[in-house]
Amino acid sequence: MTPETVRTITDDEFGDFINVVHTAFLAPPSSPEDIEARRTAFDLDRCLGAFDRNGRLCGAARAFPTELTVPGGTVAAGAVSGVGVLPTHRRQGHLSRMMRTQLDDIAARGEPVATLVAAEYPIYGRYGYGLAVEACELHLDAAQAQWLAEPEGSVDLVDNDTFAKIVIDVYDRARHAFPGHISYESLRWEVFAGVRTWPDGDNEARRKATKVVWFDAQGEPQAATAYSVDDRWEHNRPAGTLSAGVLLATSGRAEIGLVRFLSSVDWVAQVHVGLRPLDNPVPLALA
């Protein structure tokens, strides 16, 4: 028997580390391909494991370095992700030990902020976290939408390789304009664009998604998204829903322009856009 402890995991413990998170989040065991893909993207030095008295890995937590946009600029931040404890080891202090160790590590790295999107946000108040921002989703009745102003800019459909380059640039400009954004490596956007695979089962959907970009009057790309439409009909009438899980925009005007285009796509009755800030400009542009 050894004392319960928290430490940085070793390379040969990485597969178990991933599967602890999967088990805690009610997901099936990870495939070898998934583990190897994550190994290339994760900083092992920031992967913490909680170990029980038998030396078994029973909890996991990681963080990655990022820039957090704040009013006036950016600050270094530790972005917390993949936190979980096996259901057999709950209420034994493993999470508290991991959180204390992780926060000490983030502070020691000179990162003044720790940030996360919490699956169960009330938990994290025990460790000093507080609610920073709320979000919404956008659901638009495309058949009934009436816009207050004439359309601006132009829209173009682009191939996956072109889209990958554009979204990297658009997001980098967008994140500096709006507090609360964090920075991402290009890998995230290459996967999103469908030009790089990721073993999560969604590669084909990402590859086939329609890629669209909104350009301003000067011909500069200012908003971009990838969407799919469920080909649904009711009583011999089109009733499809257009879904855009991620939409990037450098301004409210750019977002309105792109959403307006999405609502005009033929055979689309509803438009759904994923997480947006509460001060989303689209409702203000509608009659």
CA separation for the pair 110, 203 (Å, rounded): 37
Q: What is the pLDDT of residue 136?
A: 93
Question: Residues 6 or more apart from 51 whose CB is under 8 A from it?
Answer: 2, 4, 5, 6, 7, 57, 58
DSSP string, 33-47: HHHHHHHHHS-GGGE
Give pLDDT, residue 8.
97
What pLDDT shows up at residue 231?
85
CA neighbor of 32 nearest in space, from 45, 50, 19, 47: 19
Instruction: Return the structure tokens found at 140.
Output: 């638009």
Residue pair 275/135 in contact by the 8 Å Cβ criterion? yes
Cβ-contact 239, 233 below 8 angstroms? yes
Q: What angle do CA 38, 2, 60 make, to 5 degrees?
A: 20
What pLDDT does 182 receive?
Answer: 95
Backbone phi, psi, residue 285, to 5°: -95, -5
How confident is the model at residue 5, as a pLDDT? 94
User: What's the confidence (pLDDT) of residue 118?
Assistant: 85
Alpha helices in 181-251 (DSSP H): 186-193, 203-208
Handedness of CA 7, 9, 13, 14 (dihedral sign): positive
Q: What is the pLDDT along the chain (287 residues), one digit of tens a residue?
A: 678 899 999 999 999 999 999 999 999 999 999 999 999 889 999 999 999 999 999 999 999 999 999 999 999 999 999 999 999 999 999 999 999 999 999 999 999 999 999 878 788 999 999 988 888 999 999 989 999 999 999 999 999 999 999 999 999 999 998 899 999 999 999 999 999 999 888 999 999 999 999 999 999 999 999 999 998 999 999 889 999 989 999 999 999 999 999 999 999 999 999 999 899 999 999 99
What is the structure's pLDDT at 244? 97
| Residue 75, both tokens | 């600050």
